[in-house]
């Protein structure tokens, strides 16, 4: 689904309605996250539907190293040869050398996410590992978007802003499934950093919030973000 000119929202129910975003600024494709499935079919089909080929994919970035976002990465790397980017803190997780940091064992609202907390902590579902080629630390330009370091959900969590499109890609700092909220509380590793990151995100003028889980917020993005801080 094209949610703004050149911004395509891709999703799958597995991975708790996880979303990835394909950006077309006319100079090649940029991919943010890779959904759950290891065959990357949903993303590859979208590239074909746009009349492009997998080698038009010029760069892939991961918001962070959680399983639901990493599934298609290795296959996309193999087919496209595109360089892979993440924050340095997440790189060894994505490369399969370290498991994702444990989150709380305590069930927290929304209860529907509890099996994800357990799955994460026991490392039950492994993604096909993939080496990171380049690190981002926040403040860079990456394809058409600005890179924002937004720790809290994880230490190396990244978000992105495309000013011309007024779209903020929040990663898991914000979700809309099962409801609009400032991430899943059971998955916030550092609440102080998380709140700081939300304040940082709320500074940007955005109509659309392209979130990690659930459908994008399609209007009044900045106001909706600010409402989470009240």
24 contacts Zn ion (rule: CB under 5 A): no
68 contacts Zn ion (rule: CB under 5 A): yes
Measure the CA–CA gap between 35 and 18, rounded to whole angstroms.
6
The rounded Cα 139 to chain-centroid distance in angstroms is 17
Measure the CA–CA gap between 40 and 177, rounded to whole angstroms.
22
Nearer to Zn ion, 84 or 100 (CB): 100
Distances (CA, A) of 147 to 95, 98, 131, 160: 21, 24, 20, 5
90 contacts Zn ion (rule: CB under 5 A): no
Mask 208-227, x = binds Zn ion (CB under 5 A)? ----x---------------
Nearer to Zn ion, 63 or 80 (CB): 63
**Cβ-proximal residue to Zn ion, closest one:** 66
Q: Are 205 and 164 within 8 A, CB to CB? A: no
Contacts of 217 by beta carbon, 8 Å cutoff, 6+ apart: 174, 176, 180, 208, 209, 211, 224
Nearer to Zn ion, 9 or 68 (CB): 68
Residue 27 has which token pair?
């100079």
Q: Which of 24, 29, 46, 66 is the binder for Zn ion (CB under 5 A)?
A: 66
Measure the CA–CA gap between 101 and 66, rounded to whole angstroms.
9
* Least gap, CB of 19 to Zn ion (angstroms): 9
Report the candidate in 85, 53, 56 with the shortest Cα–Cα distance to residue 158: 85
* Least gap, CB of 30 to Zn ion (angstroms): 19
Nearer to Zn ion, 68 or 176 (CB): 68
Nearer to Zn ion, 66 or 149 (CB): 66
* Least gap, CB of 56 to Zn ion (angstroms): 26
Mask 168-197, x = binds Zn ion (CB under 5 A)? ----x-------------------------
**Contacts to Zn ion by CB under 5 A:** 66, 68, 172, 212
């Amino acid at each position: 689904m094209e949610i703004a000119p050149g911004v395509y929202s891709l999703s799958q129910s597995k991975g708790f309605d996880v979303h990835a975003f394909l950006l077309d600024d006319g100079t090649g494709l940029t991919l943010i996250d890779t959904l759950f499935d290891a065959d990357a079919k949903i993303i590859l089909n979208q590239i074909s539907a746009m009349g492009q080929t997998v080698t038009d994919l010029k760069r892939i970035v991961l918001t962070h190293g959680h399983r639901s976002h990493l599934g298609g990465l290795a296959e996309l790397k193999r087919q496209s040869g595109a360089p892979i980017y993440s924050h340095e803190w997440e790189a060894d997780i994505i490369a399969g050398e370290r498991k994702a940091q444990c989150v709380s064992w305590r069930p927290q609202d929304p209860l529907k996410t509890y099996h994800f907390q357990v799955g994460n902590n026991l490392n039950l579902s492994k993604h096909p590992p993939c080496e990171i080629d380049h690190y981002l630390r926040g403040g860079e330009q990456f394809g058409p978007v600005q890179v924002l370091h937004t720790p809290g959900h994880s230490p190396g969590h990244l978000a992105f802003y495309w000013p011309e499109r007024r779209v903020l890609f929040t990663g898991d700092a914000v979700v809309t499934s099962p409801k609009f909220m400032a991430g899943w509380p059971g998955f916030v590793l550092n609440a102080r950093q998380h709140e700081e990151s939300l304040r940082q995100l709320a500074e940007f003028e955005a109509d659309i919030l392209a979130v990690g889980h659930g459908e994008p917020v399609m209007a009044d993005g900045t106001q909706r973000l600010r409402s989470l801080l009240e």
